[in-house]
């Protein structure tokens, strides 16, 4: 039987580096939820633009305001705002749920449980919502 031909083993190890796919965020549900959470920032920006459009409309008198209300009834804008509301809610919920991980509060020598911090965030949200609605509706 012939011995196998001799060859030198390379000194430098040939490590294999897998390239990261451009679609890494589709690999799991948690990655996808993270990207959606980050995309919500685009809809936050739109909500601010929409708010400024309202301010501009109001400053242009009741005609401008009526035009704004008509614009808001446009089906495309309506759909955009529906999606925006979903993403704003998603942003708020993920933000309030993650806040306890970032903020450790001590009271009387013991750590305040994270659930209480999240609960106080949601309470603030409810109060803020009531205040905003009350101010707008008059």
State which of positions 7-46 bind other proteins (CB under 8 A). 9-10, 13-18, 20, 22, 24-25, 27-28, 30-31, 34-35, 38-42, 44-45
**Residue 117 touches other proteins, criterion: CB under 8 A:** no
Q: Minimum distance between the CB of residue 61 and other proteins, rounded to whole angstroms?
A: 7
- The token duo for 131 is 């205040």
Site size with other proteins, rule: CB under 8 A: 73
Distance (Å, whole) CA 134 – CA 109: 39
Q: In this structure, what token pair is assigned to residue 132?
A: 């905003």
CB of 50 to other proteins, least distance (A): 7
Residue 116 sits in the site that holds other proteins (CB under 8 A):
no
Instruction: Show the 3-state SS of 26-88.
Output: HCCHHHHHHHHHHHHHHHHHHHHHHHHHHHHHHHCHHHHHHHHHHHHHCHHHHHHHHHHHHHH
The CB-of-3 to other proteins minimum distance in angstroms stands at 17
CA 112/CA 40 separation, integer angstroms? 29
Q: Which of 26, 32, 67, 103 binds other proteins (CB under 8 A)?
A: 103
């Amino acid at each position: 039987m012939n011995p196998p031909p001799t060859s030198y083993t390379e000194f430098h190890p040939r490590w294999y580096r897998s390239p990261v796919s451009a679609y890494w965020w589709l690999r799991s549900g948690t990655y996808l939820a993270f990207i959606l959470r980050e995309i919500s920032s685009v809809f936050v920006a739109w909500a601010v633009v929409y708010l400024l459009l309202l301010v501009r409309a109001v400053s242009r008198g009741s005609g401008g305001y009526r035009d704004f209300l008509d614009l808001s009834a446009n089906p495309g804008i309506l759909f955009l705002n529906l999606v925006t509301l979903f993403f704003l809610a998603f942003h708020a919920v993920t933000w309030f749920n993650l806040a306890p991980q970032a903020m450790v509060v001590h009271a009387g020598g013991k750590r305040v449980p994270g659930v209480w911090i999240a609960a106080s965030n949601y309470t603030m949200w409810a109060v803020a919502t009531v205040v905003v609605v009350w101010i707008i509706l008059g």
